[in-house]
Structure 1
């Protein structure tokens, strides 16, 4: 009976969140003309969620509800992120929008925490969805910083905001590598594909993991170039989502140390097991050279 009670509580909790998401989705779908594939997918997930919450709340697996809600959030916010990118992150309105999307992408972890059913978020969300939530937040902040660092007047007068965005973005991306255990290479075990085994031993399970390395390295470069003398405590802009499970988001970063470590690893992978696979290391090497000759 206790398990049934908890299942009903989760169904009501997630169902409430689903109603909120649907209310947000409808005007987006109308503005897009009803033919955006990601908004259609989000709508489908939310309709399934509604049926499960209302018709079978006593028997449905809570993890299924959370995953449907999370997938809807990922699809809906992807549409909104693409719109921001297409509009080149409008200077007057993009930062509040970025903060809002970070908060929404943190919602699934908030829900998991409120259900209090699992010790680890990955037990309910699954590793891939959890990695995706951190990737999307980190990549959004990367794209935002990539745009605003090209606006000399903006970045010179908003250094604290830039540092905060870079620090949080790097931490989101690095958090992606903490949800799976790298493969342990053992001399007593043979692998048919040693290149793949080496990738897995470095914690690289997809192209997204490799992109996260390069994005992190670039953000460390911007941090050292533009923000090295800025005290992060001077910035009162909070862009962390409430569901953030990594306490390291509050900590200051050593942009040079982290950048050098992650880019050396990126280059080693691209020129090792992925050699000949069209992964470019030119920019990574240029950034490493900057780190070595920068005297901040």
Structure 2
């Protein structure tokens, strides 16, 4: 006999495959009718007349008839529920996590405030990123943001514009330190301004300040005392600015770079039954200093095998 936890997973999977048309009570009644045999429960819906299913479940016969011929339902029964790993961020709680969600309904709940959110658009994801150098062909890893971060190649020094992808997954090397420093074109990057390495305070209270000013106004005035201002050779073109995302630079600042949009439920969202073992739950790791991966030509491994963040705490489906 299945345990209560196994029964709950079976109910959620049943509901997801049938697009949430059966509520939890109806799904449980069907499983109880079939002695908690999963195959028998699915066959009960697919092979019986709608009116017979209607005797147990409170779903209309029209909906049952539609589900029996729905190509997406048939595909899910044959191949399993298709899923994707997506990034979510709750601005209110300053919480960031990755979660495996069904392709059909990509929704996750913040574990702190219980608000449901839609995923971060892939073009706005950030975290532990893969970069491909167009100059020497080196692939390496560093902290970055899609379509924003410009990072220096560890092999040839070429400035690589934008990550290829953001890597999800656990980062278990919590206590490693290295002389390989992060180097990007972001404001406050530790490659240009030394920042002492400390432990990241996981429970810190954000003080509401993003202090990116590295010099006092008086110091700037002193440095500009004898500077002659000439014509603007660059016209009105503004240099692109972005924030460095290395843990050292983000210390005691907001975790959330792009907040998720709140999910507006249509009533068919089902709590996840998908395994989350390979998903990192938060973006900021427990240690501020994490080795930047030199990549294929740098003798430090491939960028694709690195994750960002701690495992075990994040969102819920």
Structure 1 or 2: larger helix share?
1
Q: Point out which structure has higher relative CO (alpha carbons under 8 A, 6+ apart).
A: 2
TM-score grouping bracket, smaller chain normalisation? under 0.3
TM-score by length of structure 1 reads 0.25
TM-score by length of structure 2 reads 0.24
